[in-house]
Structure 1
Amino acid sequence: MAKRRSRKAPPPPKKVQKVPTAFDFPFCSHTGSVHCSIDLKKDMVAVAACGVCKEVYTTVANALTEPIDIYSEWIDECVKANEGVDVDSR
């Protein structure tokens, strides 16, 4: 008679990391103060707002827009706006 093969337990499923919706705002130096919301049903608008200093960034959203996209676009726009500004080094 042949031996029966022992069955191994299947490997546990991999956990998918969630993309955060709260981010750090570099201008007011608070962690987790920027929250992003997306309204796709009515206005197709995405809003990123800092809860501490009340700064708001609004952009057009589509079905593939994620909160990290809104935050990165806001930071990119801030960098573009500050490109020609000289900062005093103290």
Structure 2
Amino acid sequence: MGKRKKSSRKPAASSARKRDPLDTTFTCLFCHHDKSVTVRVDRKEGIAQLACRVCDQRYQSKVNHLTEPVDIYSEWIDAADAAQKEDHGTRRPAASSSRPAPAPPSVDSDDD
């Protein structure tokens, strides 16, 4: 039996493809500064913290072993949208200054 010749095949496509790292700094929803929001993921504690270094907005969330900083940023966007919708839903529209205020109901003393 003889020795096998080494193959001149190229490595599989998955090992040849280089992965780009995901972002860990983002644009703030409130002050709109680029790369001012940083996300720190503490897998040991199971908590992620997001903070803007310009306007000091903060957000905290639970994490698992698959959570990435971009996931926490997306959760923050969703939470801010939900809070804004909730805020608009509970507010009553302000009375217009062009309308007169409604008169209080009158009490008739003649009906006794």
The normalised TM-score by structure 1 is 0.76
Runs of 4+ aligned structure 1 residues displaced above 3 Å come to: 8-12
Query: What's the counterpart of residue 51 of structure 2?
Result: 49
Give the counterpart letter for 1:40 in structure 2: R
Equivalent residue runs for 1:8-23 within 5 Å: 10=10, 13-23=16-26
Is the helix fraction higher in 1 or 2?
Answer: 2
Unaligned runs of 5+ in 2: 1-7, 92-112
Q: C-alpha offsets along residues 32-62 of structure 1, whole Å, 9 cap, x if unaligned? A: 0110011111x21111111111111001111
Is the strand fraction higher in 1 or 2?
Answer: 1
SS of equivalent to 2:72: helix
1:79 aligned to which of 78, 81, 87? 81
1:29 aligned to which of 14, 29, 32? 32
SS of equivalent to 1:18: coil
Coordinate RMSD, CA, aligned: 2.2
% same residue: 40
Deviation at 1:15?
A: 2.0
Query: What's the counterpart of residue 108 of structure 2?
Result: none
Count of residues in correspondence between the two structures? 79
The normalised TM-score by structure 2 is 0.62
Deviation at 1:26?
A: 2.1
Unaligned runs of 5+ in 1: 1-7
